[in-house]
Amino acid sequence: MGKLALQGGKKAVQSAQKAFDEQTRWPQIGKDEIDAINRLFEDANISTHPVIRELEKAYCERIGSKYALAHNSGTSALMAAFWALDLKPGDHLLVPTATFWASALPMMWHGLVPVFCESEETELGLDLEDVQKKWNPKVKAIVIVPLWGIPGNYEPILEFAKEKKLRVIEDASHAHGAMYKNKPVGSFGDISVFSLQGDKLAPAGEGGILLTDNIEYYHRAILLGDITRIYELDTPERRFAATSFGVKTRIAPVSAAIGLNSLKKLDERNAVRKANMARLSEALSKYGFNCYGDTPQWSRTYFEFVARPQLDSSNILSPDEWTAALKSEGCEVSKPRYPLLHEQPFFTEGAFKKVLRIEESKCPKYLPGGFDKTRSVNEELIKFPCFTTSEGDVLNEYIAAIHKIGTSQKEVKVILSE
Ligand SMILES: Cc1ncc(COP(=O)(O)O)c(C=O)c1O
């Protein structure tokens, strides 16, 4: 295995940064995307081009939804989703604290109150026990998020939602192509949303898609942000065509064209990521890491790859020790990027009240701390790069680094404690 880099040995990762960038390159823009954009110029339509409808149709077909409305971001699609539910200011929604802010904050513009919940540690889905504890009669909906592409724990949460008659918003922004019990992720919400932002698995540059089977939700989403489509409604809502509800969130055709192309290539690209991440997982699993791989219930995708080292007979190193040792061997590893939402200044300092604008007495208090289960997992996760191509040596070098450290744990521990 060679001498540890911590002892002055040669690093396991020797490839140049250029090779790393090439083998983790995302998004992957090529001739197809350029041709798709050229079509818009040839058609001299860069605002309402039919490619937007083509994108929506492709998502409907793939997910099995009746209606889709493309937006200029995942955030605005979520904004429309919360609006479309037609809840009352002061109503509560359950949402994980461990997610990107857009799973929660847009609801506050409609006066809806996020009630943060813990995530469970085995699959990183919402923690049923905490969800049950946090439920109160004001709760009208729940947000589920297949974090990093892992559709963990859907069933018990969906059963709970059914029992309590909660509407479900599925923020599937990380999980294009993932399946739960042979059904596509994105088909479980009363309304589901995918972000199509450039880092995502089916990138459009900027964009988001809202999916639903409910025509009323679909129409309400149109009313909020798609002024041209209000004219097409043959319902009384058409009377709002001259004004909409004051927001414009339609996707740009350039993004729609890229997004459509990305969707066509999704399975092929997901398969490459998955094969690569399976190799990394295989190496890490030897040393007690939970790599959140597929289960009989679900098949995941790899928006990001996180793994959690657990102390057992195969591993004596803490997450921080693994991180330090992997870094010393030249690996780009870090903590996952989302801090717990409930304790961000926006909440704890009360800044959210400027957005929420409901009676002071109905405003919740958000306190830092707590959420021990979610916190301990979050602090122990190590994020590895996603390798996005089939070629190249950098992944092999990462695997070599893992084995080098894994087989020298005692030495690593001693060195790092000195
Ligand atoms: C879980 C989740 N939801 C929503 C969004 C918002 O998407 P967008 O960046 O397209 O607004 C993101 C973006 O990173 C996300 O990670």
Domain that holds residue 169: 31-262
Do residue 77 and residue 35 come from a single domain? yes
Residue 277, in any domain of the structure: yes
pLDDT digits (tens, 9 = 90+) for 335-363: 988 999 999 999 999 999 999 999 999 99
Q: Structure tokens of 151?
A: 């559709």
Q: Structure tokens of 126?
A: 């919402």
- 130-140 average pLDDT score: 98
Residue 23, in any domain of the structure: yes
Give the closest residue (by CA) to ligand 1 atom 4: 102
CATH code: domain of residue 96: 3.40.640.10
Mutate which of 76, 107, 173 to test ligand 1's pocket (most atoms within 8 Å of Cβ)? 173
As for how many domains the chain has, the answer is 2
Residue 351, in any domain of the structure: no
Do residue 145 and residue 44 come from a single domain? yes
Mutate which of 150, 195, 201, 249 to test ligand 1's pocket (most atoms within 8 Å of Cβ)? 195
| First vs last C-alpha separation in the chain | 23
Ligand 1 atom closest to Cα of residue 145: 1
- Cis? peptide before 156, omega within 30° of 0: no
Q: b or e along 6-29 (b: 16 or more beta carbons within 10 Å of the residue's beta carbon)?
A: beeeebbbebeeebbeebbebbeb
H or E segment and range at residue 144: strand 139-144
CA distance 141 to 110: 14
Do residue 220 and residue 292 come from a single domain? no
CA distance 170 to 221: 15
pLDDT digits (tens, 9 = 90+) for 229-247: 999 999 999 999 999 999 9
Q: Structure tokens of 207?
A: 């964009």
Q: Structure tokens of 58?
A: 């492709």
Residue 255 Cβ inside 6 Å of ligand 1? The answer reads no
Q: Is residue 84 a contact partner of residue 191, using CB atoms and an 8 Å limit?
A: yes
Which residue's entry shows tokens 């479309």? 84
Do residue 134 and residue 89 come from a single domain? yes
Which residue's entry shows tokens 């946090």? 134
Mutate which of 79, 82, 197 to test ligand 1's pocket (most atoms within 8 Å of Cβ)? 197
Residue 100 Cβ inside 6 Å of ligand 1? The answer reads yes
Coil, helix or strand for 167? strand
pTM: 0.98
Do residue 128 and residue 147 come from a single domain? yes
- 274-294 average pLDDT score: 98
Residue 143, in any domain of the structure: yes
Residue 126 Cβ inside 6 Å of ligand 1? The answer reads no
Q: CB neighbours of 34 closer than 8 A, spacing ≥ 6?
A: none
Ramachandran sector of residue 147 (left: φ over 0; alpha: ψ -120 to 50; beta: rest): beta
Residue 70 Cβ inside 6 Å of ligand 1? The answer reads no
CATH code: domain of residue 300: 3.90.1150.10
Q: Is residue 255 a contact partner of residue 204, using CB atoms and an 8 Å limit?
A: yes
pLDDT value for 1: 75
Ligand 1 atom closest to Cα of residue 99: 1
CA distance 195 to 208: 4
Ligand 1 atom closest to Cα of residue 103: 3
Ligand 1 atom closest to Cα of residue 206: 10
Q: Is residue 94 a contact partner of residue 248, using CB atoms and an 8 Å limit?
A: no
Do residue 13 and residue 39 come from a single domain? no
pLDDT digits (tens, 9 = 90+) for 44-55: 999 999 999 999
